Amino acid sequence: MAGKLTLDELRQAGKKGEIDTVLAVLVDMQGRLMGKRMHIDFFVDGAWAETHCCNYLLATDMEMETVEGYKSTGWESGYGDYMMKPDLDTLRRIPWLEGTALVICDVLDHHTKEPIAHSPRAILKKQIARLEDLGMKAYMATELEFFLFKESFEEAQESGYRNLTPSSAYNEDYNIFQTTKEEDVMRAIRNGLNGADIPVENSKGEACAGQAEINVRYAEALSMGDRHAIIKNGCKEIAWAKGRSVSFMAKWSYDAAGNSSHVHQSLWSLDGKTSLFYDKDSAYGMSDLMRHYLAGMLKHASEITYFLAPYINSYKRFREGTFAPTKAIWAKDNRTAGYRICGAESKAVRIECRVGGADLNPYLAMAAMLAAGIDGMENKLELEAEAQGDAYANPDAREIPTTLRDAIVELDNSKMLRSALGNDVIDHYVHAGRWEQYEQDRRVTDWEVQRGFERA
């Protein structure tokens, strides 16, 4: 695949003057790339084996505040170091940044060299290991939606994020003429990502003015998590370079549609040749194992919601009639259901979780879904009957939490997730969720002022 590099190929590219900078990055709790820009000589001379960072990077909020109350680090322990261990399988060129390569690092304890259990990549790798012990591997794909604006990030900030101009004037879902107007950015995104070892299938207009979606090929779960994190960062960097801005907020405007991150998933044999979800003799081609897996996802849907919707704003997206699901039910090819069966009657049969927003952390979301699915398989849970018709109109359908406050309670009380991910991991993210809720509870919003300034 174009863009992929070995360490020797990186050395050669450095000698030729093609690459002079290596980004060594970890993925933080919010799914962002954090790290260092290294001169290539320093990286190939030894930093390819390890580098270091402050351990507060996995204990901050969106604003990079040093939030108190985490067990893992704090002022009392002096905010020490983590080791960043480059995963050389992720080494790649970054075509949209001149002379630049990137490598994703695992986060290890500075002293024991053991993985930091609450680091997003380690959380997903633990569930992947559980699957391997069962003789299977997960393949996944995330569909990322975002809004593209004519203003730059700096202009948007100066305006207080008011009166922004979407790249198109009306709903551009599948609309070729409308998406032609933003092709200077979207073409650069497609080609840039493809050149960074992220095989792009397509981009398309989505269901609102200025809304786009980027789709990349199915991959093993860890690779998909890595791709997802780089895609978001890449879209921002490419838009910024062209004087534009993008937003992956779940709901950036009351009047606009939400941004989703639908997650497709299926289980395969360890050699990747046999779909364990497919049984040609069963309804929709769904094997018994697939039915157990899906039953686990549905049973634990409320418990995993925090990892699919981690912020106050995430829950503003859950509105009837918006293609953002409010019900944890399953159905074949029904976009009102939280869990949709795609590729029925074929080896491509898979589950599409439609609950998550574009603000999710891919590693955490995928790990939570795998944990729920594994529980379903291990306990051979029976799959409930398929839902019919409009899920929004079904008063008896299982609701997912509709507020962050409720999702945190479900996460905190989840015996399944505590067993699968570990108590310390769950406590870490419960603390993060409670801090997010606390920060929102004490803020005065524009809407409150406009509504109550005179009338109250």
**Predicted confidence (pLDDT) per residue in 253-278, tens digit:** 999 999 999 999 999 999 999 999 99
Return the structure tokens found at 422: 């570990």
Please check whether residue 61 is in contact with residue 67, taking contact to mean a CB–CB distance below 8 angstroms.
Answer: yes
Task: Report domain extents, the chain.
Answer: 7-114, 127-447
**Which whole number is the average pLDDT over 205-222?**
95
Q: Which CATH class is domain 127-447?
A: alpha beta
- Find all residues with CB under 8 Å of 104, minimum gap 6, and list them: 25, 26, 27, 86, 87, 90, 121, 226, 229, 230
Quick one: what percent of the chain has pLDDT higher than 90? 89
**What pLDDT, on a 0 to 100 scale, did the predictor assign at position 324?**
82
Whether the pLDDT of residue 1 is over 70: the answer is: no
Taken as a whole, the chain contains a residue count of 456
Q: Give CA–CA dist 424/399, Å, rounded.
A: 28
The secondary structure of residue 45, as a DSSP letter, is I
Query: Which of these ranges, 23-32, 99-108, 169-178, has the smallest mean pLDDT?
Result: 169-178
Q: Give CA–CA dist 306/439, Å, rounded.
A: 17
Query: In this predicted model, which residue has the larger pLDDT, 136 or 396?
Result: 136
**In terms of CATH, what superfamily is 7-114?**
Glutamine synthetase, N-terminal domain (3.10.20.70)
- Beta-sheet strands, E only, within 259-337: 261-269, 330-332
Please check whether residue 171 is in contact with residue 267, taking contact to mean a CB–CB distance below 8 angstroms.
Answer: no
Q: Do domains 7-114 and 127-447 have the same CATH topology?
A: no
